[in-house]
Amino acid sequence: MTALKRLCDANLAAVADGVHQPAYDRGAVSIGVVHLGPGAFHRAHQADVFDRLLAHDPRWAVCAVSLKTPGVRDALTPQDGLYTLVELDQQVRYRIIGALKQVLVAPDAPEVVLGRMASPGVGVVTLTVTEKGYCLTGAGALDLDHADIRHDIARPTVPASAIGWLVEGLRRRMAAGAGPISVISCDNLTDNGRKLGAAVVALAAAQGDQPLADWIAQIVAFPNTMVDSITPATDDALRARAAEHLGLEDAWPIQRERFTQWVIEDRLAPGAPDLASVGVTLTSDVRSYEQAKLRLLNGPHSSLAYLGSLAGLETVSQAMGHSALSGFVERLMLEDIIPTLKAAPGQDLIGYAQAVLERFRNPEIRHRLGQIAWDGSQKLPFRLLGTIADALAAGRSVERLFAPIAGWIGFVVEKARSGEPLTDPMAEALLALGREAEADTEAVVSRFLALDSVFPAGLAADAAFRAGVNRAYGQIATGQLEALLAR
């Protein structure tokens, strides 16, 4: 079989019909964005936004900067930064993204990277470096004892951390008189902009450069944000699928669901791109969107994981094909969770809930329930227990909300009895409780509710909460899952 040509600018004319190509002249665009950490999520999400923006504003191409490894650079440089975005939906769509004008590895090209951040033409720095990349303490402040931060205090001109690269880039920007800039965290970290801004100012001060720290605090915008889109990992099957539809080889295509959401606090620096024109939500209240995602997406996700696993199902889309379970989750969202939320101006909670349900039904996304069920002891307090506490405090019925808590207990007990591994930081303690489970369901529930690292003392002691979880777990333990889901 003849080898396929490689995706690149010179071969775009050979791309198969039906594949969407950049709607602009790539040679005429200029770099206005530096992105730190160009992993799959950035290339599926923010780079797509800038790609659509370039169709009517050529100033916002991206310089993508890997802070450690050369994999993205080595894969995409021979492709002139081009790659395929595969949007997974009822009708799969293939798009070539052209927003990445330059792909660098910071330690290999430090002066180029820092020069980009200091350039007057660059108005935005975005980051997807994962929560640990911010080098924060448990309280959310910069960890001055972190090895990379200690390095950056001692040797600020050769940074090791993302925070260090930002500080040195901003130092050079201040010296060049390049003006205001927006630094936008795109990681799943509550108050991500505030924490990032405080960390950058703290490192500048720790390096002994108080004028820089003051300049950053006054000139640089660090808005809070929320991002959302399911982005499965790239594998050989995706590479083969992309090649078949493009007629060209793509070393690193990316896939995600069609749905995307990017919410940014409306406090960008002067001269920022018109992100709202390409679907980004600008709001004064990012926290309301975060809360909606946590309670209307993550909470039902966990509910499907535990109750669906007990029903013998494997994926989210299969769980949504189970009429009793899908109906239960829809009622849970619309009747029990939404009343605990306060919408920001312009935020449509019912529309968002319906969009989430459609995402769950997407057969192209094989999201395994067993994976979503991981780390339940860490997730339940944020995804479900806060909702329950608020509903109880308001005097609302929470009968359905007891079911996923009981489902988690049943899931752990089932793992313990079958001898299967449990992925959870508390796995050993949880499996021990599961192995002790007996016919006295109230005793089982009581032992689990005594886990003070999972259940707040006040909630665990609440008579209505204990009774409700007991009722729900009793139905699970006696094989009445269908009756439980009929609530």
- Tens-digit pLDDT profile for the chain (487 aa)? 568 999 999 999 999 999 999 999 999 999 999 999 999 999 999 999 999 999 999 999 999 999 999 999 999 999 999 999 999 998 999 999 999 999 999 999 999 999 999 999 999 999 999 999 999 998 899 999 999 999 999 999 999 999 999 999 999 999 999 999 999 999 988 899 999 999 999 999 999 999 999 999 999 999 999 999 999 989 999 999 999 999 999 999 999 999 999 999 999 999 999 999 999 999 999 999 999 999 999 999 999 999 999 999 999 999 999 999 999 999 999 999 999 999 999 999 999 999 999 999 999 988 899 999 999 999 999 999 999 999 999 999 899 999 999 999 999 999 999 999 999 999 999 999 999 877 789 999 999 999 999 999 999 999 999 999 999 999 999 999 999 999 9
Q: Clarify whether residues 73 and 219 are in a common domain.
A: yes
* Cβ pair 1, 33 in contact under 8 A: no
**Do 385 and 278 belong to one domain?**
no
Q: Which of 284, 309, 336 is the last residue of a domain?
A: 284
Q: Is residue 1 part of a domain?
A: no
Residue 16 lies in a domain: yes
CATH of residue 147: 3.40.50.720
Question: Which residue carries 């505030």 as its tokens?
Answer: 194
Are 117 and 132 part of one and the same domain?
yes
The number of distinct structural domains making up the chain is 2
| 294 and 261 co-located in one domain | no
Both 385 and 476 in one domain: the answer is yes
Query: pTM value?
Result: 0.90
Dist. CA 292–CA 333, nearest whole Å: 10
Residue 245 shares a structural domain with residue 296 = no
Residue 424 located in a structural domain: yes
Nearest to 137 by CA among 61, 198, 206, 214: 198
pLDDT value of residue 438:
79
The number of beta carbons lying within 10 Å of the beta carbon of residue 74 is 14
Q: Can you state the angle between helices 299-310 and 323-331, rounded to 10 degrees?
A: 150
State the pLDDT at residue 370: 93
**Nearest one of 297, 302, 293, 307 to 487, comparing CA atoms:** 307
Is 3 domain-assigned? no
User: Is 184 among the domain residues?
Assistant: yes
258 lies in the same domain as 296? no
**pLDDT for res 90:** 86
Residue with the two structure tokens 């009517």: 56
Last residue of a domain, one of 269, 284, 299: 284
Q: Tell whether 227 and 338 lie within a shared domain.
A: no
Type of residue at 72 = V
- Kindly state whether residue 87 falls inside one of the protein's structural domains: yes
2 part of a folded domain: no
In angstroms, rounded to a whole number, what is the distance separating the alpha carbons of residues 42 and 49? 10
- Give CA–CA dist 385/430, Å, rounded: 18
- Final residue of a structural domain among 250, 284, 318: 284
pLDDT of residue 440: 87
> What is the predicted pLDDT for the residue at 1?
52
Parallel, antiparallel or unpaired: strands 93-97 and 83-88: antiparallel
Identify the pLDDT of residue 327: 98
Q: 106 and 74 share a domain?
A: yes
Q: How many CA atoms lie within 13 A of 441 on its CB side?
A: 18
Q: Please give the order of strands across the beta sheet that includes 100-105.
A: 100-105, 61-66, 31-36, 124-127, 181-185, 220-221
Could you tell me if residue 75 is inside a domain? yes
Show the domain range for 74: 9-284
Both tokens assigned to 236: 């050989």
Question: Are residues 232 and 331 located together in one domain of the fold?
Answer: no
> Which pLDDT does position 284 carry in this prediction?
95
* 432 and 381 in a common domain: yes
